[in-house]
Structure 1
Amino acid sequence: IKTIIEKPNFADILLDRVSKVLFAKHQDLLEAALLGKDEPKLNELLMDESIKVLDEEHFVSDLKKLTARYLESAKNIIRSKSDLSSEQKSFWLRRINELQLDFRAGKFVTIDEELEKLL
């Protein structure tokens, strides 16, 4: 998020390649950064020297890592859901596996809206 604040042109890279759901815990900060809002928490991010501003190569690399972690986490969540039948779990696990295969093939993936709701 700090990189997007410092390098607004990177917002397009983010929006073109990943679903904003990957930033679920920081959705409010991401939205504020994308809209250029003056938000106190964004100012805190800017002042925090431990958070680095990334170049494009590292930014894209981090987006890929975030996507990989999200997909793996999604599989674990689906496996542990007690309100899904085994058929439903099987369906969603296959869907996540398809997304992982696409991702490993170098494609950026979009998370299904229905899958987002389950997670």
Structure 2
Amino acid sequence: MSTIVLGVKNNFERRLGIWPTYFDRDDIMYTNTTFGDYPHYLPDSDSPGRFTGWMLLNYKKSVSVSSTLGAYAANYAVDENMKTYWSASSGKKANGSVPTWVLFPQYMLYRSIMRIRT
């Protein structure tokens, strides 16, 4: 586990990083933080701890949102930068609609394809 300094809103803003950790043949503990927030093979597989190669389907793709607050643009939701983020202008319902939403078209297409395959 690690702490990651962001410092966007204030100097003490932190995130917790949890990385896969292993022991080598000499019982020395090590970790690999490369692609740490992406899927890795389980320890009992043929490639324990290795990156699967799976990438985000919506990385830097178009995103539709309910609203945007100031400079917190919709694409910040999918830019993989921990220091940027999207923010809706309000969490209140407008005209009886859902208050805040984000639509990732590529993810929805993937889900539809997977439903057809299974």
TM bracket, shorter-chain basis: under 0.3
TM-score of the two chains, using structure 1 as the length reference: 0.18
- State the structure with bigger RCO (CA 8 A, min sep 6), 1 or 2: 1
Q: Please tell me whether Structure 1 or Structure 2 has the larger radius of gyration of its CA atoms.
A: 2
TM-score of the two chains, using structure 2 as the length reference: 0.18
Higher fraction of strand:
2
